[in-house]
Amino acid sequence: MPLKKYNVLNIELFVLIIGRVLQVLIAFIAIKIVTYYLVASELGNYYLIVSLASFYGFFFVGPVGQYINRKTHQWYMEKNLLNVLYLYNYYVVFLSFSSLVMVEILKYFHVIGSIDTVLLSTVLFIYIIAHTWNQTIIPLLNMLEHRISFVVFTVLSQILSLIFAYFLINLFSKEGVIWFFGQAISFGVVSLMAFWYFICKIDNHFNILIAHKLLTKKSIKKVLNFSIPLFIGALFFWIQTQSYPLIIKKYVGSEFLGYFGVGMSIAFAISSAFESIIMQYIYPQMYKNMNNEDKFSQTMLNIVNLIIPIYLLLSIFVSFFALYIISVLVDEKYFSSYIYIIFGIWIAFFRMSSNLIANTAHSKMKTKKLVFPNFIGAVLAFFGILFAVQSSNYMVYIPSAMLLSSIVSFLVLYDSMNKLLNIYFKFKNFFLVFLYSAPFLISMFFYNYSQNIIYALMILIVFGIYFLYVLYELVKGGNNIE
C-alpha cells in the first residue's frame, strides 16, 4: 500500500475513533442528566417511546436502508443516487403518518399509560422523518469515504440532541416524551445540514423526471425481493431485543421499567458505540469485496476471528466493572441497576456477533436465511418475558429470558451462515482474551469503593488503559482485513 494512502487511512481511522469517543462521552453525559432529572416512572415512559421509535427503525427503515447501502456505489457511479433518495422520501413520509395509527392502537390496549397521546403522536411523527434521514444521509458520507464529514455530523447530532433535550425539559416539564422531543429536533436540524453538504460536495445530479422513471415494477420488485426477508427478520429481531418495554410497562409498570432500562441502555450504549467504531471502518471494505466471492470469504473469516474476540473482551470488561460504570454514569437513585448492565452486555455480545456474521447473507443476497434465527429468538424472548412478568422473581427472569433468546438465536444463525460460507473460529484468539482478562479480577477487591465516584473513575481509567492495551495487542496480532 502506498505511504500516502496508508497515512490517509490512519488519519481517517483516528478521526473515526475520536468522533466515536466524543459520542460515547456525550451519551454518558446524557445518561447522567436524564437519570438526574427524570424519576423512574418518567424514565420508563422514555424507554417505552424509544421502543416504539426503534420499531420503525428496525422493521421499516432498516431493510430498505440495507438495500440502499448495497446499491450506493452503483447509483453514485450512474449519477442516480439523489434521484433514488428523492423517491425514498415518499416512503419515509408514509411511515411517519402510519405512526399516528400505531399510537391509537397502543392507547386502545392501555400500553401508553399516562403519556399525552397527542404529544406522543406529534413527537413520533417528527422523529421518524428526522431520524430516518439523519441515519440515511450521514452514513452515506461514510460509504462514499467522506469519513471526516461523517464524524462531524454524527457528533453534532448527539451534541444538539443533548442540548435541545436538556433545555426542553427545563423549559416545559420533566417528562420522558419531552426529552425525546429534543432529540427529534436535533436529528432534523442536522439532517438538513448534512443534506446541504451532500448536494454541494458529493452529488447534485437531481432530475425529478429521471427519478420518477426509476420507479418501475421491476425496480420495486428488486427492492421487495431483497427487503421482505429483512422486514420479517427485523420484526423478529425487534421483538427479541426491543419489545420488552411494552410488556414491562403493561404488566409490571413504568417504575421498574425505568430501573431496568437504565442498566440495559448503558450496556447497549457501550456496545453500540464499540460496534460502530469497528463497523464504520470495515463496512466500506466489506461491501467492496462482496462482489468477489473468494476475496470476501477470506475477508469475512479474518473479520470474524478478530472482531468477535474483541466483543468478548468488551463484555468481560463491562461485567467486572459494572458497579464502577454505573456509579460514574447515573444518579445515585439508580445504582441498583448495575446488575442489568451485566445482563445487557452479554445480550449485546450475542447481538453484535449475530450482526457481524449476518453480513454473509447480505453478500450472497440470501437474506431469507436471516428470518428463522430471528424468529427463534423472538419467540423465546416474547414468551419468556411474558412468563417472567407473571412471577414474583420477574427482576431476574426478564433479563434471563432475553439472554437465553440471544444465545439460541446466535447459535441458529451461525449454523445457517456456516452453510453459506465456511466460518470457523480460531479458539486461540478466544483463549488469549480470557488470559488477558485475568487482571480484571483485581477489581473485585475494590468493590467497597465503587459508590464513590472519584474512586470509581480512577479505577475505570487505570483498567481502561489496560483494556486498550489488550485491544491493541489483539488487533496487531489479527489477520489483515483489507
179 and 287 fall within a common domain:
no
Residue 217: how many CA atoms within 13 Å on its side-chain side?
0
Domain-embedded: residue 370: yes
With a cut of 80, say whether residue 4 has pLDDT above it: no
245 and 192 fall within a common domain:
no
Domain-embedded: residue 350: yes
Confidence of residue 289 (pLDDT cuts 50, 70, 90): low
202 and 265 fall within a common domain:
no
pLDDT score for 287: 65
- Which are the contacts of 459, defined by CB distance < 8 A and separation ≥ 6? 321, 324, 443, 446, 449, 450
The DSSP symbol for 252 reads T
145 and 261 fall within a common domain:
no
270 and 137 fall within a common domain:
no
Domain-embedded: residue 121: yes
328 and 454 fall within a common domain:
yes
The rounded percent of the chain whose pLDDT value lies above 90 is 47
Mean pLDDT of 219-228: 86
With a cut of 50, say whether residue 6 has pLDDT above it: no
- Within its chain, how far is the Cα of 77 from the centroid? 29
371-388 and 394-420 are packed helices; what angle lies between their axes, rounded to 10 degrees? Answer: 170
pLDDT score for 5: 45
62-77 and 81-108 are packed helices; what angle lies between their axes, rounded to 10 degrees? Answer: 170
Mean pLDDT of 265-289: 77
With a cut of 60, say whether residue 8 has pLDDT above it: no
Residue ending a domain, among 215, 249, 273, is 215
Domain-embedded: residue 443: yes
Burial of 335 (0-12, 13-18, 19+ CB in 10 A): middle
pLDDT score for 281: 63
Confidence of residue 458 (pLDDT cuts 50, 70, 90): very high
Domain-embedded: residue 438: yes
The rounded percent of the chain whose pLDDT value lies above 70 is 91
pLDDT, tens only, 171-182: 999 999 999 999
With a cut of 50, say whether residue 55 has pLDDT above it: yes
With a cut of 70, say whether residue 271 has pLDDT above it: yes
How many domains does the chain contain in total? 2
181 and 264 fall within a common domain:
no
> Which of 318 and 225 is assigned the larger pLDDT?
318
Burial of 407 (0-12, 13-18, 19+ CB in 10 A): middle
Residue ending a domain, among 158, 181, 215, is 215
317 and 397 fall within a common domain:
yes
Question: Measuring CA to CA, which residue among 223, 164, 167, 160 is closest to residue 194?
Answer: 160
Confidence of residue 450 (pLDDT cuts 50, 70, 90): confident
Domain-embedded: residue 15: no
Q: To which residue does cell 404529544 refer?
A: 119
- Structural domain of residue 177, as residue ranges? 22-215
- Rounded to two decimals, the pTM is 0.83
268 and 123 fall within a common domain:
no
Query: Quick check: 153 and 19 in contact, CB under 8 A?
Result: no
pLDDT score for 367: 67
Residue ending a domain, among 182, 215, 248, is 215
pLDDT score for 363: 63
Confidence of residue 1 (pLDDT cuts 50, 70, 90): very low
Domain-embedded: residue 11: no
314 and 437 fall within a common domain:
yes
Burial of 297 (0-12, 13-18, 19+ CB in 10 A): middle
CA 326/CA 198 separation, integer angstroms: 39
Domain-embedded: residue 235: no
357 and 436 fall within a common domain:
yes
Average pLDDT, the chain: 86
pLDDT, tens only, 25-47: 898 899 899 999 999 999 999 99
According to the per-residue pLDDT averaged within each range, which of 80-84, 108-112, 185-189 is highest? 185-189
423 and 325 fall within a common domain:
yes
